[in-house]
Chain A
Amino acid sequence: MKILVVEDTEEYRKKITEALLMRGDDVFHASNGQEGLDLIRNKEDLDFIITDLHMPIMDGITMLQELKMDPNYTRNIPVLMLTTEANKELKQKGQQAGVSRWLLKPVTTQVLFRILDSIEAKL
């Protein structure tokens, strides 16, 4: 799968990227929502997005909202949101923006792979 990882913490981004490469995925990464948005618009063959919630410049949900409002972008890519905390309002916002899965940090490779396998099965 072609996966975009949007994560501001370099260490964490590296960790996820390594895990995905081990799994055999093609990985692209961005360090904030704005970078992620540019990448999504340019990469037409992305299969999956893993994004952090809290990031500088643009957070994960705003990135997805911007994407949804863009009339030129019609694709519906599944999104996995990584977060350290969650509340009902945030969950609702995320669902409206197109988040299909949620994970709480720290995430184990096993859990991440399980989610990816389920997404891949649906593709």
Chain B
Amino acid sequence: MESKQKLEILSRIPKKHYLFFSLYTFLVLTFFCSLSIYLWENIKTHQITEVQKERTLNMFKEELIYNFDKNKIKSNKRILKIITDILEVDGIEVYWESEKPTLTFKVENLENKNFYKVPFFFSSKKEPPLKFIFLKLSSNGEEKSLKEGPIPFSILLIGAFICILHLSFLIWKNIFNPFFQKINSHINESSNTVSDFKALKIASEFSQKVLILVDENQTILNDQSIFSNQIFQGNIKNGDIVKDFFSKFLFLSHELSRIESSLILSFGDDTIQFSAVSGHFPKQGTLHVGNNTKHFNFFYMPLLDDHHNVKHILISLIENTEIQTLRRTINKIKKEHSIEKDILLSNHKEEFLKKIIQSKNFIGNQIKEINSKLSNEFDQSFKNMLFYELYKIIPESPFLKASIQNIKVKMERKLDIPIEYPEFPSNNESDYFYTKSLVSMKFLIFFEALCQISKTLGDFLINFKEGKHEVHHSNRFIYPIIEERLKDTFLLYKNIFEMMEVNSNEDVLKHYKEFKELEVESSLYSSLLLLKNQLVVLSYLLGASNNEALSSIFHSSSEKLNLILGRKGFTKNSISVGLFDSHKNLQLKAELINQILKTK
């Protein structure tokens, strides 16, 4: 257990302090070691000499002074030798009226060896001009550097000072740091919150959004912008989010109670809990400001604490009064004109077109007006949101979408020659899109489909010729079946071709009703379907006769026809309508080419 505790203590020491820790341990050990040796030596010396020291020196003091006065050094040396013998020391230094030794006596074994210096002072008040230092042979005599113990005390003191400094730092860090950290975090937190609040106010002012920060006590924390104050007719800071904010909107009491419950269940928990109850927060609200009614969209964002729990909720409100107004206008127009009806099938085509053009112009003007209003605003996202909302509410009016997108929609397929109907607008891109989307969508679908059919049939003709030649040599058992199928298919193709030729007769196509009465569309459609099936059968037969290349060509042709027949809008009815329109368009094209040729 103890060893575990020790390990735990060691593991708590940061790695960067390992060097200091080892140095500290070394210095402490050395310090105590040196101190104990020094004290032991000192005590030992004291025990031997202290009793006799003063008495002995007093005995010789007068004689020594006399000899120094008379400059009889040899006599003094002899006296010193006697003293060393009496006091059992290894040498004596005598200071005669000086700070430097005047006379030194060392026993033979002290020469060139380390020794301690033990100073002696006379206890009498009146000190003689003599001072004595006793020399004692060091127990570790071989180390030259040890003059006053194992390590000089000055070095030990410096080491101890460093260690004390370092220890102080560690103690300061461990004891006071948490305290300072707490203060710092508090300061940072409050300064962050203050700066957050300021940022919210600025953001609210510039983006013209109401931004509200709520804490778990359901208190509004942030100062409100001028924009916000105008809406709520006063600063709602420190107010209750339900009583002072939500209740100002036209919510029923049970709705308010639900909001309050949702808020209570959101705070102090993770984002999963927030998402579980946030569905009960209102998404939209209506507010009466003076004589005006304003509509707002609500957005909620949880702000988390260090433990990833919801600490604050940021509520942002974006006004969408204009969108609501526009939505109502559009619904009104839609009701009046019912633009979803198929114009081409209507008996009052011209009247319908006029109404739609009027609607288009009206809504276009509305959008332009809103756009100009918003052009000077800071917040681009609000503008985008408005157009997104507009885009969403009119899914069945593609021409309006084109207007909203600022008439930048690029066409997948452009007609080289515009269709010149008298009641149609000019041939700019938006009007073309308008024309395509509303008036002759079916025509375009079929025109596109017709091109594909022609291509498929053309491919088939080439394949048929090549196929006939190749298949003949490939497989004699399958060949008769393939040949039979090819003949049928070729005949079918011819029939389709003839059907199309017959229907392009101008007299027949003059009037739509007459065209419809011909009832050719059903046989044309079924012929195309049959052709597709024939192509599939041929593809399999050619595959079976190891003509992979031809098989894949027929398969691909059948797939193309399948796509054409299966596409939306390509019904039996649309074939007839489309055929009529496409023929007319081809005629216009032909006329134009003729005119160009004539002028050239």
Contacts and interface: CB of A to CB of B under 8 A. Distances in A.
Interface of A: 83-88, 91, 101-104, 108, 111, 114-115, 118
A85 to B, nearest CB: 5
Given A86-B264, A87-B261, 12 more contacts: A85-B257, A91-B265, A101-B276, A102-B273, A102-B276, A102-B277, A103-B276, A103-B277, A104-B262, A104-B265, A114-B275, A118-B272
Contact of A91 (B264, B275, B276): B264
Contacts of B264: 86-88, 91
B273 A111 contact: no
Nearest to B218: A88
B234 interface: no
B277 A114 contact: no
Contacts of B273: 101-102
B257 to A, nearest CB: 6
Interface residues on B, range: 10 to 19
12 contacts: A84-B261, A85-B258, A86-B261, A86-B265, A87-B264, A101-B273, A104-B261, A104-B277, A111-B276, A111-B279, A115-B276, A118-B272
A72 to B, nearest CB: 31
B265 A114 contact: no
B311 to A, nearest CB: 16
B472 interface: no
Contacts of B261: 83-87, 104
A102 B261 CA distance: 10
B45 to A, nearest CB: 75
A102 B265 CA distance: 7
Interface of B: 257-258, 261-262, 264-265, 272-273, 275-277, 279-280
A77 to B, nearest CB: 18
Contacts of B275: 111, 114
A101 B276 CA distance: 9
Contacts of A88: 264
A119 to B, nearest CB: 9
B257 A114 contact: no
B265 A115 contact: no
A102 B264 CA distance: 10
Contacts of B265: 86, 91, 102, 104
Contact of B279 (A83, A85, A101, A108): A108
A91 B262 CA distance: 11
Contacts of A101: 272-273, 276
A92 to B, nearest CB: 10
A1 to B, nearest CB: 16
B219 to A, nearest CB: 13
A18 B265 CA distance: 26
Contacts of A114: 272, 275-276
A86 B277 CA distance: 11
A114 B271 CA distance: 12
Contacts of B279: 108, 111
A104 B272 contact: no
A84 to B, nearest CB: 8
Which of A83, A86, A91, A111 is packed against the most chain B CB atoms within 10 Å?
Answer: A86
A103 B264 CA distance: 11
A103 B514 CA distance: 66
A48 to B, nearest CB: 14
A66 B226 CA distance: 54
Contacts of A85: 257-258, 261
Contacts of B258: 85, 104
A108 B262 CA distance: 15
B526 to A, nearest CB: 44
A104 B277 CA distance: 6
**Residue of B257, B276, B280 with most partner-chain A CB within 10 A:** B276
Contacts of B276: 101-103, 111, 114-115
B267 to A, nearest CB: 9
A29 to B, nearest CB: 21
Contacts of A87: 261, 264
Contacts of A111: 275-276, 279
A87 B257 CA distance: 10
A88 B264 CA distance: 6
A114 to B, nearest CB: 7
A87 B272 CA distance: 19
Contacts of A118: 272
A40 B273 CA distance: 25
Nearest to A83: B261
A90 to B, nearest CB: 8
B278 to A, nearest CB: 9
A118 B269 CA distance: 14
A97 B276 CA distance: 20
A84 B258 CA distance: 8
Contact of B272 (A83, A91, A115): A115
A108 B280 CA distance: 11
A88 B269 CA distance: 13
Closest 9 A-B residue pairs measured CB to CB? A86-B261, A102-B265, A85-B261, A118-B272, A86-B264, A104-B280, A86-B265, A111-B276, A104-B277
Nearest to A112: B276
Contacts of B277: 102-104
Nearest to B275: A114
A89 to B, nearest CB: 10
A3 to B, nearest CB: 16
A111 to B, nearest CB: 5
A83 B265 CA distance: 11
Nearest to B277: A104
Nearest to A87: B264
Nearest to A118: B272
